Structure 1
């Protein structure tokens, strides 16, 4: 076997299933570009074995599994822990094989394909040429990465292995080192500087490992609470453009006969500028919020588009920077290139700002709606209100942006009043793109997990689905990102079941509509200059038309922005009682929404 030159340090960076197959790994692309820029003596080779799996089982099935965290982990759980085959199969069937109208997926046959691909991946590459193998461990990649490292150590026992990624927060990292001997190092938090440090340490250039690089013999000596942030970049201006060359080379081999055009991940910021949501544990790997300048972000997108002939991009940010994102999209709006973007934003990115973003190519947006109850939104510490949530839902529909969002149900301590408020407000969002319900899960390190008594949680325990994946003696020593709890879960499940049913009916209604939502919205208006005609669809009824004339038209258009009655009274000089009666009639007809103080018109302009 070929050994690497003594003056050259070689790293293998690996992204396992179930990374989305139609996107290169942002982590691998960023690390490769950064490491080779900062360390000319390091050569980085990237591997995307998830492409091989997608080609082997078919992209449709792969995509479906990759979006199901428990089904995806159960498959590799049965490979890593053969004695857990039956419990992993049962978990897979419970979470994945739920559609009685579709043919069930053969768990055993699928596992056999994955095991064969894993063996081929390990055997067909010469690992003796590397000084270090690194695995990016993010969503649904823990069990596949552990399975791969076990096989890799069998053929190359002296090759150091490092884990990193969003899964590897401090307490999880420490437990991985304690439980799995095939993992030698774990980088907890941001990866660029710690990986440079680890390469220097292993090559003899650096004597000491920085706190973010954990290893078995020092983890007990380090305060886990101060690890994150200790080795992160001060700002993101030093980051080069991600290098996705390796992904495209592998894609050309795996999909030679059925090529596709990937969606390229990019990164405007790290962290979350809000960072207060009580349920969230997505920012445990960062300290503070940092973002690139709009000029840097624009240049990066243009370079990637030209280099790889792609126009579809997805921002990996938890929340785009408010002002700089608008500047960026104003510039892409001037471009001759037909860019298309996915991004996650907060609800304050509505109205004119959202219009700028749409004009700049924003096609799909994920918005943290989370609740349609002001009481629950306060418990979630969202920093938003129901009327603001509805405004961004309406604006997205009006602009032709596909909005994705969730309603969190079964939140501990939520009340009957909050459920009733949600049920009532669901009637007002019926015209808009349906949300999905997401049952609350207890995320390790989230504010709820850090103060369980406040939410009526008596005990924090391992999630029952993790008990199906891992043997008991392994799980007892592990800390994982998703926990379970003892509290009021059974009561909450029953309490929120009417909301779940109503959202399912909402989704079914839109699926069954003959015309597309964007072509013919359920609630729309046309402006006649001195009057409005509002068209309204109501399930099970004939289409209704409403005509608003003169000042009635003006009031409705005034409420296209969230407005209170004091402002309307001052602006129009109308008797308050008459104004209240008119607004109340519009609210009763579901043409307008009110939170008791402020009002919002719900119809979107259809135009000619």
Structure 2
């Protein structure tokens, strides 16, 4: 089971592009009081493949802390590490080769249920095996990859036997599995093997795969499972520990769902606005020992520790992004006391000697910019932090985050078309997204992002606008992928209210039926997280989408040699432009041109440039001339300079707060009359 859930917005299980690991919970409430005093027992917490081997499971770590507070002895089993080591040896692969193969299965083939199928169908018949492989081929999976998948079935069988035997050695009273992404198949395989071997204790599953109808479908179809946790796990786990400690059979209580009904009304407590998040610091003891036991000590320098400072989504609570299936249990946003953030990081650095952290929060608490992050900065350590953020952050906010050690972010950009962003209900504009990418370049923060396409009501014009814009941006960090098709995920508005988008959901993604061959169509629907759907689309979109993918691919391949910088002099600005496909040049702007250019660094409005006497119309004409040269980006009455400073620094003075900011140097600007003709972007 789990105290948090992990799903990456729109992109599947990518560790950074999405890979995000968003989380859910409620503030603890008083669990069910057992009928007799509890006897602290022994629990095992298990995380199966296909978790990222360079991170401990925050679900296991958090619930280990919870159980130890209850007086229980807890064994943490990072079973994905033992599988990783076993498979590398069994397949005879070099480290780099196996690392890529593992990532292919866990991330690249996630949408086809490959990770689940390897474990769930490891002893399936030849006909079922060939049927699945035929489906994989129709989805573009090559024969070499299919051979890898087939070979991993035998490794999975050995790993299931080994994991079940190891769990039985300590005779735990309770075994809890966390299940997210492709962990269902591996988890159920071990749970069923435990029962075959005579295990009579309690088996509970939790995690994002157990939310809503998905968990109930697991409980109904897999007798090996005694209980599931629907959503946040801490309170439910405590309730279950006390029931087991009292010798009682597992009974439903709050988010704990079993085959026995609750004794009284035990609906999960609601979450009030402004309520703080009370979750213990995760206990990762045992992870590094198991890393060495699995022969993976060479990965130690690459380890990143997951941390959690908030749950829910403050933007989603206002406007739910159409494609986002996160926060199935509750969208209400809550965060930890900001005074505890630096202390938690200090403790983890002290205890484990790791300086790199991955925040699993859905979104950064903006209050932390003035509260928690300045305290983190004062740690004066060379740590790094990853956060998910919203792309309308000010440059000053990006700078403050970078000073506190935030070196990479997932901003949820999703599109560089304001029309597309409106359809996705992102609450941002193309101007804001471009400004964010520029701010990251200015202050040395890596943005991890993608361009989404293939959603209801998408127009060719929204894609053409982006195609025209991209040559201007090749010096900025490109998307992680060429393009990504929007998925229809459970709990998203697309799935909860498909009729609002002219969408008809047809069936779960095809991999589910092969990974869960015993389930009826109805149960399969209840179990699935990803769905396919039909909607009417502009017939021109397919061809334009291919052009967009080609343009983004060019950006990604040419970015390493692209450069567009500015350097400020006393009364001059030097521009150096080496963007592929555009004329290379070095240009020195002086006097009024230099002052105008300074004024639009970081973005501003036209009206904020018109407060000084001067020659009517000249600055506006100049801006549109610069737009033709792709030196600036203009959207409506907002303009921003596109080059970045030569040496990014977190300690440079950014534009003052304001969206967009007022110019530092006022210059004349006449707004009367239409602007001269210009190219989009």
Is TM > 0.5 for Structure 1 vs Structure 2?
yes
Residue number among 430, 434, 450 corresponding to 1:406 in the alignment: 450
Aligned to 1:240: 280
Structure 1 residues 79, 142: CA separation in 2 closer, same or farther (over 3 Å shift)? Answer: closer
Residue 45 of structure 1: SS of its match in structure 2? strand
Aligned to 2:41: 9
- Is the contact between residue 177 and residue 205 of structure 2 (CA under 8 Å) also seen in structure 1? yes
- Is the contact between residue 565 and residue 646 of structure 2 (CA under 8 Å) also seen in structure 1? yes
- Provide the C-alpha distance between the structure 2 equivalents of 1:87 and 1:216, rounded to a whole number of angstroms: 35
Residue 108 (1) aligns with residue 160 (2)? no
- Provide the C-alpha distance between the structure 2 equivalents of 1:235 and 1:87, rounded to a whole number of angstroms: 51
- Provide the C-alpha distance between the structure 1 equivalents of 2:462 and 2:259, rounded to a whole number of angstroms: 47
Aligned to 1:442: 488
- Provide the C-alpha distance between the structure 2 equivalents of 1:458 and 1:64, rounded to a whole number of angstroms: 30
Structure 1 residues 137, 574: CA separation in 2 closer, same or farther (over 3 Å shift)? Answer: farther
- Provide the C-alpha distance between the structure 1 equivalents of 2:293 and 2:622, rounded to a whole number of angstroms: 65
Aligned to 1:528: 569
Aligned to 1:132: 174
Structure 1 residues 607, 563: CA separation in 2 closer, same or farther (over 3 Å shift)? Answer: same
Aligned to 2:309: 268
Structure 1 residues 152, 95: CA separation in 2 closer, same or farther (over 3 Å shift)? Answer: farther
Worse-matched range after superposition: 389-398 or 105-114 = 105-114
Residue 590 (1) aligns with residue 630 (2)? yes
Structure 1 residues 338, 574: CA separation in 2 closer, same or farther (over 3 Å shift)? Answer: same
Residue number among 538, 541, 549 corresponding to 1:500 in the alignment: 549
Aligned to 1:213: 256
- Provide the C-alpha distance between the structure 2 equivalents of 1:403 and 1:96, rounded to a whole number of angstroms: 29
Residue 286 (1) aligns with residue 318 (2)? no
Residue number among 348, 354, 359 corresponding to 1:304 in the alignment: 348
- Provide the C-alpha distance between the structure 1 equivalents of 2:418 and 2:111, rounded to a whole number of angstroms: 34
Residue number among 377, 380, 384 corresponding to 1:340 in the alignment: 384
Q: CA deviation at 1:123?
A: 2.1
Count of residues paired in the alignment: 587
Aligned to 2:59: 27
Aligned to 2:659: none
Aligned to 1:483: 531
- Provide the C-alpha distance between the structure 1 equivalents of 2:112 and 2:163, rounded to a whole number of angstroms: 19
Aligned to 1:578: 618
Structure 1 residues 62, 106: CA separation in 2 closer, same or farther (over 3 Å shift)? Answer: closer
Residue 156 (1) aligns with residue 156 (2)? no
Structure 1 residues 161, 96: CA separation in 2 closer, same or farther (over 3 Å shift)? Answer: farther
- Provide the C-alpha distance between the structure 2 equivalents of 1:138 and 1:217, rounded to a whole number of angstroms: 25
Residue number among 581, 598, 602 corresponding to 1:561 in the alignment: 602
- Is the contact between residue 324 and residue 489 of structure 2 (CA under 8 Å) also seen in structure 1? yes
Residue 55 (1) aligns with residue 98 (2)? no
Aligned to 1:516: none
Aligned to 1:518: none
Q: CA deviation at 1:86?
A: 2.5
Structure 1 residues 469, 576: CA separation in 2 closer, same or farther (over 3 Å shift)? Answer: farther
- Provide the C-alpha distance between the structure 1 equivalents of 2:515 and 2:264, rounded to a whole number of angstroms: 30
Worse-matched range after superposition: 195-204 or 431-440 = 195-204
- Structure 1: runs of 5 or more not aligned: 1-5, 514-520
Structure 1 residues 373, 559: CA separation in 2 closer, same or farther (over 3 Å shift)? Answer: same
Q: Give the structure-2-normalised TM-score.
A: 0.80
Aligned to 1:141: 183
- Provide the C-alpha distance between the structure 2 equivalents of 1:222 and 1:593, rounded to a whole number of angstroms: 61
- Is the contact between residue 241 and residue 300 of structure 1 (CA under 8 Å) also seen in structure 2? yes
Q: How does 1:63-212 map to 2 (within 5 A)?
A: 63-70=103-110, 73-81=113-121, 82-83=124-125, 84-90=128-134, 97=141, 106-126=148-168, 129-204=171-246, 209-212=252-255
Q: CA deviation at 1:346?
A: 0.8
- Structure 2: runs of 5 or more not aligned: 1-37, 89-97, 649-681
- Is the contact between residue 50 and residue 115 of structure 2 (CA under 8 Å) also seen in structure 1? no
Structure 1 residues 235, 54: CA separation in 2 closer, same or farther (over 3 Å shift)? Answer: farther
Superposed CA deviations along residues 179-200 of structure 1, whole A, max 9, x for unmatched, are: 2222221100100001111122
Q: CA deviation at 1:147?
A: 1.8
- Is the contact between residue 471 and residue 581 of structure 2 (CA under 8 Å) also seen in structure 1? no
Worse-matched range after superposition: 69-78 or 583-592 = 69-78
Residue 251 (1) aligns with residue 300 (2)? no
- Provide the C-alpha distance between the structure 2 equivalents of 1:117 and 1:489, rounded to a whole number of angstroms: 46
Q: CA deviation at 1:289?
A: 0.7
Worse-matched range after superposition: 595-604 or 467-476 = 467-476
Q: CA deviation at 1:475?
A: 4.6
- Is the contact between residue 29 and residue 242 of structure 1 (CA under 8 Å) also seen in structure 2? yes
Residue 529 of structure 1: SS of its match in structure 2? coil
- Is the contact between residue 559 and residue 601 of structure 1 (CA under 8 Å) also seen in structure 2? yes
- Provide the C-alpha distance between the structure 2 equivalents of 1:49 and 1:493, rounded to a whole number of angstroms: 43
Residue 526 of structure 1: SS of its match in structure 2? strand
Q: CA deviation at 1:303?
A: 0.4
Superposed CA deviations along residues 130-171 of structure 1, whole A, max 9, x for unmatched, are: 121111111221222122222222113423211111222111
Q: CA deviation at 1:234?
A: 9.3
- Provide the C-alpha distance between the structure 2 equivalents of 1:362 and 1:191, rounded to a whole number of angstroms: 28
- Is the contact between residue 342 and residue 365 of structure 1 (CA under 8 Å) also seen in structure 2? yes
Structure 1 residues 232, 314: CA separation in 2 closer, same or farther (over 3 Å shift)? Answer: farther
Residue 141 of structure 1: SS of its match in structure 2? helix
- Provide the C-alpha distance between the structure 1 equivalents of 2:594 and 2:116, rounded to a whole number of angstroms: 60
- Is the contact between residue 428 and residue 590 of structure 1 (CA under 8 Å) also seen in structure 2? yes
Structure 1 residues 344, 369: CA separation in 2 closer, same or farther (over 3 Å shift)? Answer: same
Superposed CA deviations along residues 43-74 of structure 1, whole A, max 9, x for unmatched, are: 22211110012223244432443323527831
RMSD between aligned residues: 2.9
Residue number among 57, 68, 83 corresponding to 1:36 in the alignment: 68
Aligned to 1:317: 361
Which structure carries more relative contact order (alpha carbon 8 Å, separation 6+)? Answer: 2
- Provide the C-alpha distance between the structure 2 equivalents of 1:105 and 1:509, rounded to a whole number of angstroms: 33
Superposed CA deviations along residues 310-359 of structure 1, whole A, max 9, x for unmatched, are: 11111111101012145333233232321111111111334111112112
Q: CA deviation at 1:23?
A: 0.5
Aligned to 2:473: 429
Structure 1 residues 72, 460: CA separation in 2 closer, same or farther (over 3 Å shift)? Answer: closer
Aligned to 1:3: none
- Provide the C-alpha distance between the structure 1 equivalents of 2:333 and 2:406, rounded to a whole number of angstroms: 23
